[in-house]
Amino acid sequence: MALSTYIDAITTGLAEEMRRDERVFIIGEDVGVMGGVFKATKGLYEEFGADRVIDSPLAEGIIISSAIGAALAGMRPVPEIQFADFVTPAMDAITQQAAKLRYRSGGTQTCPITVRICYGGGVGGGLYHSQTNTTWFIHEPGLVVVAPSTPYDAKGLLKSAIRDDNPVIYFEHKKLYRSIKEELPEEDYTVPLGKAAVRREGHDLTAISYGYTLQLTLQAAEKMKEKGVDVEVIDLRTLSPLDKDTILESVAKTNRAVIVHEDHRTLGVGAEIS
């Protein structure tokens, strides 16, 4: 077991998948020589070279469109959108092309891309470096959307996403990058897509969250325990498709639910769950 930060878990997951499968490559802004703006791809350019860790122009639409073309040619691209705030130039490629390829081809084609997107506030990033737009993508059929809250899941969900034949939007919260650590197994492992996790068992109330707010929810649950309230905490992990069975099983036990999420005031993930 090795102690790892959230961002190191992502880096390690990328490296392991690139060693395992030569079809896996990375493309994005500053991911190569610079090692990424947050250093999530640090060292990968040196190990795998410029053909597999590609520094792209500042053009999100081109990043995603080229990844889709590569996926259709048999590759396993992992494009990076540097900040969620800048994903809009790639929306047509993601929602109208990647998400719909399986359907428009009658199931004869797939689009195995894993789009890494850095999202969320709490780091003083300001207007264009703090947004959370996960909901845009969970509304779109054909996309799998994940948002890990721990280093273990950051690595395991990333590896599952890269191996999956569907387009996966992988949201990684920048506040988590170096704020939490966890011991990770040395051996290969994955975390299943579409499966929530019960992070804390309780019987008085079900608290449902994901990403950075999951960590805040766990802290609040411990405070509530001091007041005699036993909170069960569910980590969604995958936002689409939702693991409804785990949610309903918990609420059937506690008869109460609260949703804690970082999102728009209306029509966020919490609105869908409620």
148: domain CATH number is 3.40.50.970
**Under 8 Å between Cβ of 184 and 4:** yes
Total domain count for the chain?
A: 2
Residue 192 lies in a domain: no
Examine the domain organization and report whether 122 and 167 are in the same domain.
Answer: yes
- Whole-model pTM: value is 0.96
CATH code (residue 264): 3.40.50.920
Examine the domain organization and report whether 165 and 48 are in the same domain.
Answer: yes
Annotated active-site residue 173? The verdict is: no
Query: 241: domain range?
Result: 197-273
Examine the domain organization and report whether 158 and 238 are in the same domain.
Answer: no
**Under 8 Å between Cβ of 229 and 177:** no
Q: What are phi and psi of 244, to 5 degrees?
A: -65, -30
Examine the domain organization and report whether 141 and 11 are in the same domain.
Answer: yes
Examine the domain organization and report whether 135 and 19 are in the same domain.
Answer: yes
Residue 132 lies in a domain: yes
| Residue 264: both structure tokens together | 């728009």
pLDDT tens, the chain, 274 aa long? 889 999 999 999 999 999 999 999 999 999 999 999 999 999 999 999 999 999 999 999 999 999 999 999 999 999 999 999 999 999 999 999 999 999 999 999 999 999 999 999 888 888 888 889 999 999 999 999 999 999 999 999 999 999 999 999 999 999 999 999 999 999 999 999 999 999 999 999 999 999 999 999 999 999 999 999 999 999 999 999 999 999 999 999 999 999 999 998 888 899 999 8
Instruction: Please identify which of the residues 129, 173, 203, 264 carries the catalytic annotation.
Output: 129
Examine the domain organization and report whether 212 and 174 are in the same domain.
Answer: no
Examine the domain organization and report whether 155 and 232 are in the same domain.
Answer: no
